[in-house]
Amino acid sequence: MYRHIHGSKGGVLKALRPTLFSILLSAACLQAHATTPVASKQTQVDALFARWNGTDTPGAAVEVVQDGKVVYRRAFGMADIEQGRPITPTTDFHVASVSKQFTALAVLLLAQDGKLSLDDDVRRYVPELPDFGHVIRVRQLLNHTSGLRDQWNLLSMAGWRMEDVITEDDVMGLVRRQRGLNFAPGSEFEYSNTGYTLLGLIVARVSGESLAAFSKQRIFDPLGMKHTFFHERYSTLVPGRAQSYQPSADTGYEGVALSYSVVGPSNLFTTADDLVLWERNFEDARVGGKSLLAQMQTPGKLDDGSALDYGDGLFVEDYRGLRTIGHDGADAGFRSYALRFPDQHLAIVILGNGADVQVNRLGDRIADIFLEGQFKASPAPIPDYADSPEVKLDPKRLDALVGTYALDNGSAITFVRDHDHLIGWTAGDDRMAFYPTGEREFFVKLTNARFSFDAPAADGMSPGGTWQKNARSRRATRIAPAKFTDDERKAMEGEYYSDELHVLYTVSVKDSGVVLHYSRGDIPLAPFGKGSYVGPWPFGLVQFQCPPQGACSGFTATEDRARDIPFTKVVITDAGGTRR
Is 97 catalytic? The answer is yes
Cα–Cα distance between 543 and 530 in angstroms, integer?
9
The DSSP result for 507-557, as a single string, is: EEEETTEEEEEETTEEEEEEE-STTEEE-STT-SEEEEE--SSS---EEEE
Please check whether residue 65 is in contact with residue 347, taking contact to mean a CB–CB distance below 8 angstroms: yes
Q: If DSSP codes are grouped into helix, strand and coil, which group holds residue 424?
A: strand
* Rounded Cα distance, 220 and 240, in Å: 19
Q: What is the DSSP letter of 220?
A: I
Q: Which amino acid is at 163?
A: E
Distance in angstroms (rounded) separating the CA atoms of residues 213 and 284: 24
The helix-helix angle for 193-207 and 168-175 (nearest 10°) equals: 110
* Residues in CB range of 42: below 8 A, 6 or more apart: 72, 74
The conformation of residue 246, written as its DSSP 8-state character, comes to E
DSSP one-letter string for 3-25: -----SS--S-TTT----PPPP-
- Identified catalytic residue from 97, 146, 156, 452: 97
d(CA 384, CA 2): 18
Specify the amino acid at residue 130. P
What type of residue sits at position 267? N
> How far is residue 259's CA from residue 60's CA, in Å, rounded to a whole number?
21
> Could you tell me which residues come within 8 angstroms of residue 374 by beta carbon, excluding any fewer than 6 positions away?
322, 344
User: How long is the chain?
Assistant: 580
Over its C-alpha atoms, the chain yields an Rg (Å, rounded) of 24
User: Which phi and psi (to 5°) does residue 309 adopt?
Assistant: -105, 25
Mapped onto helix, strand or coil, the DSSP state of residue 562 is strand
Question: Which amino acids are annotated catalytic?
Answer: 97
